[in-house]
């Protein structure tokens, strides 16, 4: 069955094939740089993205909180100001979203580290960032930035897996921090 037949008869498999194909093209060194950026458990992290990329950033921030990291989502009422020694993770497909670029500039002006996931590694956001993970979206049958957003979530879950690799009882530790007000 070719990819068009799969897309017609079992579209969920077509989506999975696109994601698997993209993840196979991820640069392992760029991924390792993102993992290294998150190594310091005392560092405060700010997560940001606009639209669906922002939803992915929120999901990733939650998982890093489960890991025990100090995390904030930019724009939330409890988010403090970013300062020297902090870090900002920005998810932006275009790498040119004005709000995201503005946040990165503010972070850099405060001497904070900037990490970005983008499918435009030559865009303005990538030029500002200290660490760039290119997410190589090519052709997709999905609407809008779906392939980019799906892949970013899986990549950030991969960062979590990398960071918890040596943690005894990582699941138990993270479950303990999972909300119980639901």
pLDDT at 7 over 80: no
| Length of the chain measured in residues | 182
In a domain, 13, yes or no: yes
Q: Is 137 inside a domain boundary?
A: yes
Q: How far apart are CA 169 and CA 177, in angstroms?
A: 13
Residue pair 42/166 in contact by the 8 Å Cβ criterion: no
More confident residue, 10 or 76: 76
- Residue 6 is predicted with a pLDDT of 63
User: Could you tell me if residue 33 is inside a domain?
Assistant: yes
Confidence of residue 4 (pLDDT cuts 50, 70, 90): low
Averaged pLDDT, 125-141: 95
Q: What is the mean pLDDT of the chain?
A: 94
Q: Are strands 113-118 and 131-134 parallel, antiparallel or unpaired?
A: parallel
Q: 138: domain range?
A: 3-177
Active site residue 149: yes
Q: For residues 153 and 2, give the distance between their C-alpha atoms in angstroms, rounded to a whole number.
A: 27
For residue 55, being part of any structural domain is answered with yes
User: Is 35's pLDDT higher than 70?
Assistant: yes
Would you say the C-alpha torsion 78, 82, 88, 94 has a positive or negative sign? positive
Residue 99 in any domain: the answer is: yes
- Total structural domains in the chain? 1
Q: Which member of 18, 76, 96, 149 is catalytic?
A: 149
Helices and strands (H, E) in the chain, number of each type: 8, 5
Residue 64 lies in a domain: yes
- Which CATH number fits the domain that encloses residue 68? 3.40.50.10490
Closest by Cα among 85, 84, 82, 93 to 47: 82
Does residue 182 sit within a domain?
no
- Global pTM value: 0.92
User: Quick check: is 53 in a domain?
Assistant: yes
């Amino acid at each position: 069955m070719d990819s068009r037949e799969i897309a017609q008869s079992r579209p969920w498999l077509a989506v999975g094939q696109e994601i698997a194909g993209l993840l196979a093209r991820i640069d392992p060194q760029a991924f390792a740089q993102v993992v290294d950026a998150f190594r310091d458990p005392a560092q405060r992290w700010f997560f940001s993205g606009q639209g669906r990329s922002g939803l992915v950033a929120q999901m990733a921030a939650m998982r890093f909180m489960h890991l025990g990291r100090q995390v904030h989502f930019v724009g939330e009422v409890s988010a403090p100001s970013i300062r020297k020694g902090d870090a900002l993770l920005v998810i932006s497909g275009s790498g040119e979203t004005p709000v995201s670029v503005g946040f990165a500039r503010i972070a850099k002006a405060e001497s904070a580290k900037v990490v970005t996931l983008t499918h435009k590694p030559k865009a303005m956001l990538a030029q500002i960032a200290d660490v760039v993970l290119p997410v190589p979206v090519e052709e997709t049958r999905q609407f809008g930035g779906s392939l980019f957003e799906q892949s970013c979530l899986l990549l950030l879950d991969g960062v979590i897996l990398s960071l918890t690799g040596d943690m005894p009882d990582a699941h138990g530790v993270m479950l303990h921090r999972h909300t119980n007000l639901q």
